A and B are shown apart, each in its own frame.
Chain A
């Protein structure tokens, strides 16, 4: 568990654009034997959800939200040598944000969590065209597909993409998650598509490992 004062100091630095201070806090946490998982869920995910919340309540501007995301993505690079060093378990997950959804950091976090648990987490990036996603799945035959949604407005695209995936691949489980689901959409997913699950947090991914 990350100390609440440390988290608050990190969050303040993050929305003030103090990227060096964020990096120092992250390095201290790593030296203090906090696990990569703890940092992903307790620092990166938590702070970005809070950034999203602040943005929706007009407490911070869109520019600040983008800056906080960019800082987080750059900090995630520092974690990568640790992520990929884990022994492989021979399973694959394809993770992407659907077409029109340019927010990618959540999807990348999910791909990274799979990597740190020995899966190959193929990350296709934000705004992945449906055809490309289907082709990639066909070529790589993953054990699981993950789709991230940040903007609620993109929910119809997400659902149609999931239907297309189900049409082509009958038995690969699909997981979805992201900030958008705070506004709804969980029921639509559950009712319409077989073997599709909404996950609230990257902590919920543990059921796959």
Chain B
């Protein structure tokens, strides 16, 4: 191979085969020649275009290229055919009116980038693995918590029932023979044990719901009779506060399939709450309507109302709102979360609307047919 052959080989290689950019720029910055690689990566033939069009933005470095400043490689971004810019490192050589421009990728930079991407991917994968592991541990702890709560609550229930019944019995049978102080203490024992028992019953419900052991027994139910009996039962409690519970029902309510015990629990809770937060002498309205194969049941009070920013907390376990009961009645903070679970298991929805100073309306829906949540 002669020297001439060797030169021709190199020129041919750079023009047609090498993965480096070669541009020849004539007077006025017009591209006179672009090699195969330059055309391939940009997806364009730049011959006849201005050199500035080859780059993503006009840049003072482009002037350096045209001036043929050889001191150092000049970094510039090229518009690639896939729409993403790519950084190349340019060298330039000026010969009379022509400028020869060669550009290449930085191998070290790309290698470093590749390694870093691998490490970032590894790190992310490892973090994700830890998260999944922790998540599985949390789920197991949650199961254990439910088991513990279930056992603890179940075992506490019997002795507490005894305390409540005994104190009630002594108060009823021997109350007159007791000193005022003893009667007061016994009465406190009775009220406290009653509250604790309701807390334990609620906890047991939460455990059942969370562990998925929440079976519903659906029965065909005449809503008029069903709602009437619930209202009558709650009227006794409401009478103590001189609150009247009114039932507002249309004549054409169809029979509905529900778990009567559970829906009784829902209504008792909503009505008790309504009474709890209403002032003496007001009324509570229980109503039901049928809309597109769904029954809407609502409990409305004319009490204090709930601040708007607390409405979203109502159905979360252990959340208590700032509103206080009007006669010091206690609340466990679990009732409405259980209510929501029962309604959801019936494939219904529940929500609350409230205006401070005017009262609240709690509404839940129940599908007319059996439509158990699976």
- List residues of B (109-139) whose CB comes within 8 Å of A's CBs: 114, 118, 121-122, 125-126, 128-129, 132-133, 135-137, 139
CB distance from A173 to the nearest CB of B (A): 23
- Bound complex: CA of A85 vs CA of B126, how far in Å? 18
Contact A102 B118, beta carbon cutoff 8 Å: yes
CB distance from B43 to the nearest CB of A (A): 21
Report Cα–Cα, A76/B129, bound state, in Å: 9
- Taken together as a complex, chains A and B put the C-alpha atoms of A83 and B133 apart, in Å, by 9
Please name all residues of chain A whose beta carbon is closer than 8 Å to the beta carbon of B139 when the two chains form the complex: 85
Q: Is A184 an interface residue (CB 8 A)?
A: no
Q: Is the CB of A80 within 8 A of B132?
A: yes
Q: Does the CB pair A77–B121 fall under 8 Å?
A: no
From A66, A80, A83, A88, B114 is in contact (CB under 8 Å) with A66
Within 8 A of B (CB), among A68-109: 70, 73-74, 76-77, 80-81, 83-85, 88, 102, 104, 108
Q: Could you say which residues of chain B place their CB within 8 Å of the CB of A83?
A: 132, 136
B129–A80 touching, CB < 8 Å: yes
Q: Are B118 and A108 in contact (CB under 8 A)?
A: no
Chain B hits for A198, CB < 8 A: none
Distance of A126 Cα from B115 Cα, bound (Å): 13
Q: Is the CB of A63 within 8 A of B136?
A: no
Interface size on B, residues (CB 8 A): 15
B132 touches A84 (CB 8 A): yes
Q: 8 Å CB contacts to A: which residues of B180-198?
A: none
CA distance A74 to B126 in the complex (A): 10
A122's nearest neighbour on chain B, judged by CB, is B133
- B residues in contact with A73, CB < 8 Å: 121-122, 125
Q: Complex formed: what's the CA distance from A126 to B137 in Å? A: 24
Closest to B125 in A: A73
Q: Which residue of B has the minimal Cβ distance to A63? A: B114
Q: 6 pairs across A/B with beta carbons < 8 Å?
A: A66-B118, A74-B121, A80-B133, A81-B136, A108-B125, A125-B126
9 tightest A-B CB contacts, nearest first: A84-B136, A80-B132, A73-B125, A84-B133, A77-B128, A70-B121, A125-B126, A85-B136, A84-B132
